[in-house]
């Protein structure tokens, strides 16, 4: 039973608190937040202590920390926590700066750091990956990832987000790496601002298509939009030599209504909390299992840096439309 400190007490921290509590291999012992009141509230709900971040990291009885604070603190906290001998599960991204992330990667080399690429633990994407690994469609050739949010975040958030490629598509870059089993050699990006002109005024795009090419000729294409009014659209499709695998959306329910207006089913689950709730629990379980067994973590700091490098390359490519070699970033 590992003792866990939770750094951050926001919405996603609440999801993690449930996962930590209900997992038989872990115990939530402390929570911190830069707003002390939030930490106290969450601590009360889960019967643990509200403490400061420094205090938690300094406590030798705590085995692991889950970092669910704001992005700009991730690298520092990873370094501090690993320095204090703790296992770490940190929310993505490692950092908005690729240089800073790489410094962190170097500092934490050999330490147990997992990055929270929750989608790897989604049962649907997991089943797709398992079918691929089992050889069910032969050699993969052409990967397509569709990833649309239901609605854009506030422009204030956009401004500090690092941009669509670092903030949103980074999940899809990791998904591509997860499925293809390696990083691409080049990244070509096209981005537009057609959903909300204020996003463009803030210097970002809201709609983008990125093409990835691999050393052996395989191709992947990622589509992002900040707005799909029907809900969170999260699909992966992979053409292989012997067939096609598609992971489709999860729906709110299975009811279908047939009337004179057509045949209507439920929408996709609304957003990431609904869609990926089972994935968060599975992610935590995988962390606990690996830490307990001393085995390899299923999504590492290296993976976090690799996805960030792709985001950097895409950001550059979107300015010219020309391909950017991943080796150049």
List, in order, residues 6 or more apart from 283 with CB less than 8 Å away.
19, 89, 116, 118, 120, 121
Minimum CB distance to its own copies, residue 37 (Å): 19
| For its own copies, the closer CB: 102 or 223 | 223
Under the binding rule (CB under 8 A), the answer on residue 328 touching its own copies is: no
Which distant-in-sequence residues (6+ apart) come within 8 Å of 34 by Cβ? 69
Q: Rounded CA gap, 301 and 280, in Å?
A: 18
Give the DSSP letter string of 7-41. E--SHHHHHHHHHHHH-TTEEEEEEE-SSHHHHHH
Q: Does 11 bind its own copies (CB under 8 A)?
A: no
| Cα–Cα distance, 39 to 54 (Å, whole number) | 14
Q: Which of residues 87-106 bind its own copies (CB under 8 A)?
A: none
Binding segment for its own copies (CB under 8 A), chosen from 87-95, 99-107, 131-139, 287-295, is 131-139
**x/- letters, 236..255, toward its own copies (CB under 8 A):** ---x-xxxxxxxxxxxxxxx
d(CA 165, CA 223): 11
When asked if residue 127 is in the footprint of its own copies (CB under 8 A), the reply is yes
Which listed range, 126-134, 155-163, 290-298, 301-309, lies at the site for its own copies (CB under 8 A)?
126-134
User: Where does residue 317 rank: exposed (0-12), middle (13-18), buried (19+ CB within 10 A)?
Assistant: buried
Among 89, 88, 90, 31, which Cα is nearest to 56's?
Answer: 31
- From 229, 293, 294, 296, residue interacting with its own copies (rule: CB under 8 A): 229
Cα–Cα distance, 218 to 239 (Å, whole number)? 10
Q: Which of residues 253-292 bind its own copies (CB under 8 A)?
A: 253-268
Residues in the chain: 329
69 or 249, CB closer to its own copies?
249
181 binds its own copies (CB under 8 A): no
Work out which of 69, 105, 124, 147 binds its own copies, going by CB under 8 A.
Answer: 124
Write out the two tokens for 60: 């030798």
| Options 185, 190, 285, 290; binder of its own copies; rule CB under 8 A | 190
Tokens at 124, concatenated? 């649907």
Min separation Cβ 29 and its own copies, Å: 15
Residue number with CB closer to its own copies (61 or 260):
260
User: Of 2-10, 53-61, 99-107, 133-141, which segment contacts its own copies by CB under 8 A?
Assistant: 133-141
Q: Is 223 an interacting residue with respect to its own copies (CB under 8 A)?
A: yes
């Amino acid at each position: 039973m590992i003792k866990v400190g939770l750094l951050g007490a926001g919405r996603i921290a609440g999801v993690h608190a449930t996962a930590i509590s209900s997992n038989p291999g872990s115990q939530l012992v402390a929570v911190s937040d830069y707003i002390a009141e939030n930490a106290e509230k969450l601590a009360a709900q889960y019967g643990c202590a509200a403490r400061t971040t420094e205090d938690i990291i300094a406590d030798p009885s705590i085995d692991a920390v889950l970092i669910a604070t704001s992005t700009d603190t991730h690298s520092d906290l990873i370094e501090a926590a690993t320095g204090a001998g703790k296992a770490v599960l940190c929310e993505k991204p490692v950092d908005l700066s690729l240089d800073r992330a790489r410094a962190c990667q170097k500092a934490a080399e050999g330490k147990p750091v997992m990055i929270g690429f929750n989608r790897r633990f989604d049962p649907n994407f997991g089943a797709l990956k398992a079918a691929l690994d089992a050889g069910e469609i032969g050699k993969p050739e052409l990967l397509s990832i569709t990833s649309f949010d239901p609605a854009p975040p506030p422009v204030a958030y956009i401004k500090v987000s690092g941009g669509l490629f670092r903030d949103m598509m980074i999940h899809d870059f990791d998904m591509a790496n997860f499925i293809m089993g390696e990083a691409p050699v080049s990244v070509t990006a096209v981005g537009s601002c057609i959903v909300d002109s204020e996003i463009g005024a803030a210097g970002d795009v809201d709609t983008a298509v990125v093409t990835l090419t691999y050393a052996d000729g395989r191709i992947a294409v990622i589509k992002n939009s900040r707005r799909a009014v029907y809900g969170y659209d999260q699909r992966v499709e992979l053409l292989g030599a012997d067939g096609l695998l598609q992971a489709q959306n999860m729906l709110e329910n299975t009811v279908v209504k047939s009337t004179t207006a057509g045949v209507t089913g439920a929408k996709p689950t609304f957003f990431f909390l609904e869609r990926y709730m089972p994935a968060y629990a599975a992610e935590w379980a995988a962390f606990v299992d690996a830490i307990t067994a001393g085995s390899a973590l299923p999504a590492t700091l290296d993976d976090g840096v690799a996805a960030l490098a792709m985001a950097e390359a895409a950001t550059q490519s979107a300015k010219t439309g020309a391909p950017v070699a991943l080796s150049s970033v």
